[in-house]
């Protein structure tokens, strides 16, 4: 029987635990160059980096964010979000 390797897949969690109702903004360095950024407008709007957006729902590693503007809600990876301060 083979021994389990030390390189097993670690579970990754966001740096800060984000919960429903949290005020967030997008971390520019995490977002730019990501799959989500390449599937969107090449010039992301500044308000996503300035915040705040409200985290409406969390499913797995994604969160649904609503901005305080008349724009659609968006799903982003939790690793791309940070707490608005």
How far is Cα 62 from Cα 78, in angstroms, rounded to an integer?
Answer: 5
For residue 54, being part of any structural domain is answered with yes
What's the total number of domains in the chain?
1
pLDDT at 3: 56
Query: What global pTM score does this model have?
Result: 0.75
* pLDDT bracket for residue 1 (50, 70, 90): low
Sign of CA dihedral 63, 29, 13, 5: positive
Strands of the sheet with 81-83, listed across from one edge: 74-77, 62-67, 53-59, 23-26, 81-83
For residue 4, being part of any structural domain is answered with no
- Mean pLDDT on 12-23: 74
Mean pLDDT computed over every residue of the chain: 86
The answer to whether the bond into 52 is cis (omega within 30° of 0) is yes
């Amino acid at each position: 029987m083979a021994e389990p390797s030390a390189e097993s897949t670690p579970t990754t969690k966001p740096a800060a635990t984000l919960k429903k109702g949290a005020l967030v903004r997008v971390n520019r360095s995490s977002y730019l160059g990501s799959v989500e950024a390449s599937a969107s407008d090449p010039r992301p709007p500044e308000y996503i980096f300035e915040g705040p957006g409200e985290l409406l729902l969390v499913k797995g590693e994604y969160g649904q964010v609503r901005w305080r503007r008349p724009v659609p809600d968006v799903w982003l990876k939790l690793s791309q979000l940070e707490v608005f301060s």
